[in-house]
Structure 1
Amino acid sequence: MRRKEIERLPVMNLEVTDVKIYPFDTTGIGGNIKAVATVKINNVLEIKDIKIIYSNKGYFIQMPSKRSRTGEYVPIVNPLEKDLYLHIRRKVLDEYKRIMEKYGEKVNPND
């Protein structure tokens, strides 16, 4: 595509079109990260390494991040619209629940 064609591309409504879950077995090690997810947006953008974490406040997702020189983690991908984040979160946690129940583990993503 030429630059002018790219500049004219319409803005798409963003929707999660696919979710893959990669669960961890944290039995005995006490880890809070329960799984990692890969999400496709409109089948044109893939976000890998979304962490599914369980805390005393329930399940949440953490977008991919990297460690900075100062040692803190900074996001690599970060939805700027709250509705997009909530859409991704719901799709990821619903798929996590479905996968875990398939293997006999009860999960309440609303915890």
Structure 2
Amino acid sequence: MKITDVRVKRVSNEGKLKAYVSVTFDDSFVVHNLKVIDGHSGIFVAMPSRKTNSGEFKDVAHPINSAFREVLQKAVLEAYNNEREKEKAKKQEHQ
């Protein structure tokens, strides 16, 4: 399964949540609401989740092996960093 598109929507607040991401696989299947989070150990990708009746958050979709998790995280963080650089360049143009 190939990642064929990654779309990043940055969040403008200054909290831990930095962006929402949608990832398309094989130009055929999309997963929405992955999150880029600035945690205690640095930036990471959180899978889409929902809150259970007991208050826990459970992943709705997630990689089933660490090799694909690394591929997915690399693609998402690369797209996130590219989006940040574009925004920085736009801000510098307007100064």
TM-score, structure 1 as length reference: 0.76
Percent identity, please.
Answer: 25
Cα distance in 2 between the residues matched to 1:15 and 1:55:
27
Say which of 13, 16, 21 aligns to 2:8: 21
Say which of 8, 29, 38 aligns to 1:45: 29
Q: What residue identity is the alignment partner of 1:15?
A: K
Segments of 5+ residues of structure 1 without an aligned counterpart are 1-13, 106-111
Segments of 5+ residues of structure 2 without an aligned counterpart are 90-95
Provide the residue aligned with 2:54 in structure 1: 70
After the TM superposition, which parts of structure 1 deviate over 6 Å for at least 4 consecutive aligned residues? none
By percentage of residues, which structure has more strand? 2
Count of equivalent residues? 89
By percentage of residues, which structure has more helix? 2
Cα distance in 2 between the residues matched to 1:58 and 1:23:
17
Q: What residue identity is the alignment partner of 2:57?
A: Y
